[in-house]
């Protein structure tokens, strides 16, 4: 009976309805624990800030509540990033209540919070810039009467602080917006917290990409890894080589990203403190490239005659490198981020082995029968090309594994193997002095029955045998949602809130590992995303006070 009473209190307090676990449900590779029924002392903060203290003293957000620039802030009314964010978070906090007059005739509050004052404390607010891997995302938030204060060195930290403030607001029993006195000092554990979306296997409309950028900001992700092209289709509309999408996309007019589309995505992301890192993966994964660029791909042979099929990029032709130089010159001007992802994974050597011209080239170069040397030959020339564009590059781990000479600032992206294998790879990469990203445990296109977010949440990119110096080279990780079975109809619920678990692992302190506390906070955070129009799937038995497109 006592348990039932506690349970009933939880329903009233959090708006969650968690039933008892059904026994004897076996799910491979998914660890389930009994859901906790106690509300978190941290409310619904997600990801959990580095330092947070919430008191029992509460304030009402009065009818005249405003989000304003603090006096002396280096970012003023001309800072579009903050002005847009003020409007966005005001809407998130109040919804339609103020516009519709729903706050009238309520019991007056004994104390009110009248303002959130936002101060950018450094001389250069970076209002007009783009976020980077070196951006300062820290902030301090103090909620006291009569006004709250948010301080951040740069606008990027202020954006995160606004999200945190919005998460502290709750409704009392009369529906009035309230917030408790709070002190927060916060910064991300890792500088690179990414989401990969694949727009080649299934085309994703721009509005779907924008909706996920919005959700990324709610979870404090800061990198959109845009896997924009691959074997199935080439939806990027190149100004230099328009025939690539004309011939290589699913449809040359409806299933392409125009220059205006790309610019919109980049600016929408910038306004939310999110970098856009494009990936153009070669020499493999390039079948769609060959449809619009003659002689780019290697002709495959069946015996002594061409088979009519094509393999990876042809690495022995000078025209290949002329094309790549022009193409990546365009990419460097279109995408402002300091990095481009160059792929380099899963190169099938079968076609190269069949081609007599490739075989002659191999002999002339002294490569023997080691086709990984040919791959390295191509990659090295490509990296030299990209270096001339003054871009840094991220590559999948195979490029490192094959011994290609890399610049010191190269970022190695680890994605292969089981836990033991990826931990070994992380140790190997960092012992060689390279920065690295982890994605292996966070391939969210892999789904299973049960609460698979547990394993996602437990994985840690610094959990490998290595020195502190090595672990400092880990700059973060990415959750990947590959598109074989994902399009606009199911992408968002498959990604969220499972990706939220990755978000907290990459933002919060290393010792934030309590699954019960995470469950309580994430359940309410998931309902908050639903209320904001994001169809995030449930974690377990539950309901939200405001269901998706419902009450």
- Report d(CA 533, CA 430) in Å as an integer: 41
**8: number of Cβ within 10 Å:** 10
Catalytic option among 112, 346, 484, 531: 346
**Residue 18 CA neighbour count, 13 Å, CB half:** 24
- Copy the structure tokens of residue 217: 């900001």
From the number of C-beta atoms within 10 Å of its C-beta (0-12, 13-18, 19+), residue 231 rates as: middle
Contact 259, 239 (CB under 8 A): yes
Contact 266, 255 (CB under 8 A): no
Q: Does residue 126 have an active-site annotation?
A: no
Say if strands 51-69 and 112-120 run parallel, antiparallel, or are unpaired.
parallel
How distant is the alpha carbon of residue 23 from its chain centre?
35
Contact 425, 417 (CB under 8 A): yes
Say if strands 192-198 and 223-227 run parallel, antiparallel, or are unpaired.
parallel
Which helix H or strand E contains 454, and what residues bound it?
A: helix 453-458
DSSP-derived letter for residue 139 is: E
Angle at 276 (CA atoms; ends 292, 487), nearest 5 degrees? 65
Cis peptide before 146 (omega within 30 of 0): yes
List residues bridging with 478 in a β-sheet: 194
3-state helix vs strand vs coil in the chain, percent to 5: 35, 20, 45
Catalytic residues: 346
């Amino acid at each position: 009976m006592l348990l039932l009473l506690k349970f009933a209190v939880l329903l009233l307090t959090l708006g969650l309805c968690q039933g008892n676990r059904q026994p004897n449900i076996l799910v491979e590779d998914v660890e389930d624990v009994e859901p906790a029924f106690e509300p978190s002392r941290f409310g619904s903060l997600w990801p959990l800030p580095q330092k947070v203290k919430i008191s029992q003293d509460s304030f009402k957000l009065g009818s005249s509540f405003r989000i304003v620039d603090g006096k002396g802030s280096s970012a003023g009314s001309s800072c579009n990033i903050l002005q847009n964010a003020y409007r966005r978070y005001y809407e998130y906090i109040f919804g339609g209540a103020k516009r519709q007059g729903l706050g009238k005739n309520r019991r007056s509050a004994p104390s009110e919070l009248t303002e959130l004052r936002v101060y950018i404390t450094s001389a250069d607010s970076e209002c007009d810039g783009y976020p980077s891997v070196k951006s300062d995302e820290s902030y301090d938030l103090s909620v006291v009467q009569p006004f709250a204060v948010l301080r951040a060195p740069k606008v990027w930290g202020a954006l995160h602080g606004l999200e945190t403030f919005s998460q502290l607001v709750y409704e009392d029993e009369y529906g009035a917006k309230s917030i408790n006195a709070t002190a927060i000092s916060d910064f991300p554990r890792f500088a690179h917290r990414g989401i990969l979306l694949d727009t080649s296997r299934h085309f994703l409309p721009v509005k779907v990409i924008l909706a996920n950028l919005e959700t990324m900001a709610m979870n404090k992700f800061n990198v959109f890894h845009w896997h924009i092209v691959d074997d199935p289709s080439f939806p990027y509309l190149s100004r230099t080589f328009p025939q690539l999408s004309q011939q290589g996309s699913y449809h040359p007019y409806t299933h392409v990203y125009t220059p205006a589309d790309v610019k919109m995505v980049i600016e929408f992301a910038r306004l939310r403190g999110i970098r856009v890192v494009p990936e153009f993966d070669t020499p493999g994964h390039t079948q769609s490239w060959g449809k619009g660029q003659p002689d780019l791909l290697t002709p495959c042979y069946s015996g002594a005659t061409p088979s009519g099929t094509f393999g990876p990029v042809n690495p022995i032709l000078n025209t290949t490198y002329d094309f790549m130089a022009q193409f990546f010159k365009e990419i460097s001007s279109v995408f402002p981020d300091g990095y481009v992802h160059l792929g380099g994974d899963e190169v099938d050597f079968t076609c190269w082995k069949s081609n007599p011209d490739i075989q002659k080239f191999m002999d002339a170069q002294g490569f023997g029968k080691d086709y990984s040397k040919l791959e390295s030959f191509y990659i090295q020339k490509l990296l030299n090309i990209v270096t001339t564009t003054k871009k840094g590059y991220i590559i999948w781990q195979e490029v490192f594994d094959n011994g290609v000479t890399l610049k010191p600032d190269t970022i190695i992206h680890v994605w292969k193997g089981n836990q033991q294998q990826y931990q070994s790879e992380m140790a190997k990469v960092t012992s060689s002095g390279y920065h690295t990203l982890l994605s292996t445990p966070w391939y969210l296109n892999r789904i299973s029955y049960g609460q698979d977010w547990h394993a996602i949440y437990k994985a840690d990119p610094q959990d490998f045998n290595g020195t502190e110096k090595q672990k400092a080279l880990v700059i973060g990780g990415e959750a990947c949602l590959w598109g074989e079975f994902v399009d606009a109809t199911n992408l968002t619920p498959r990604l969220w809130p499972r990706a939220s678990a990755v978000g907290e692992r990459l933002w919060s302190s290393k010792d934030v590992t309590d699954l019960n506390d995470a469950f309580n906070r994430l359940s309410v955070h998931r309902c908050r995303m639903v209320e904001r129009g994001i169809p995030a799937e449930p974690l377990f038995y539950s309901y939200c006070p405001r269901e998706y497109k419902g009450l």
